[in-house]
Structure formats: structure tokens, C-alpha cells
Amino acid sequence: FRLEIVKSDHKRRNMFEELLCPTCGRQFANSGDLVPRLLPECGHTFCTKCLNEALLKDADQPFFCPEDNVECSRKETAEDFPRNFALIRLAERTIERQRKEQEEQ
């Protein structure tokens, strides 16, 4: 029984890590510079702020994913990349679950 709890906690930690920008470590959100943006060529996701910073570097050169170095289409700004709605929904559910757990304590 204890092993299942440990596995569940481990899965929860792993899921929570997916809600963090791999560059800055901040939790994704549905507004501002924390909106998760998807790179269609490789499937990696970064917050709007970090993606904008990456796009500004070597703006006259091809753009490569900061995670796996796959060449991606260059856009003017991060806002031109699609939102990762799956991560947005997951982040919203996680925040709501955390609020409920805190209220119960």
C-alpha cells in the first residue's frame, strides 16, 4: 500500500514538472508571458517570455529549438506560435486542485 502512495506522489511530481517552462522553470499560465507556446516541428513548449528571448538571439539566422536543437520556422514573436492548450488546461486543473487541497487543510 505504501509503495502505491510513493508511486502516486512520484507521478504527481513528474506531471507538475511538465507544467514548468524548461528554460526558466516558471509554471505555465493562461495569460501574460507564461502562456505555453508550442514549436510544431519538434513538439517542445516554452513560455512566451523565454521563446521571445530565444527568437531575439541571432534574429538573422535560422531558429533552433532550445531543447533539442531541431530547426524550427522563425516567427516575429512568440505570440505567433500556437498556444499549447493541453498544458494550459492541465495547469489550470493543477492550480484548482492545489487550492482545494489547501482549503481542506
Contact partners, residue 51, CB within 8 Å, separation at least 6? 37, 78, 81
Contact partners, residue 33, CB within 8 Å, separation at least 6? 47, 48, 49, 52
Taking every pair of Cα atoms in the chain, the longest distance, rounded to a whole number of angstroms, is: 57
Residue range(s) defining the domain that contains residue 38? 2-104
- pLDDT for position 8: 52
- For residue 83, what is the DSSP state? B
Q: Is 91 helix (H, G, I), strand (E, B) or coil?
A: helix
Q: What does R_g of the chain's alpha carbons equal in angstroms?
A: 16
Q: Which of 59-63, 86-90, 95-99 has the lowest mean pLDDT?
A: 95-99
What digits encode the pLDDT tens for the residues 2-47? 444 445 554 555 667 889 999 999 999 999 999 999 999 999 999 9
- pLDDT for position 6: 46
Supply the pTM of this predicted model: 0.80
- pLDDT for position 101: 86
Question: Number of structural domains, the chain?
Answer: 1
54: domain CATH number?
3.30.40.10
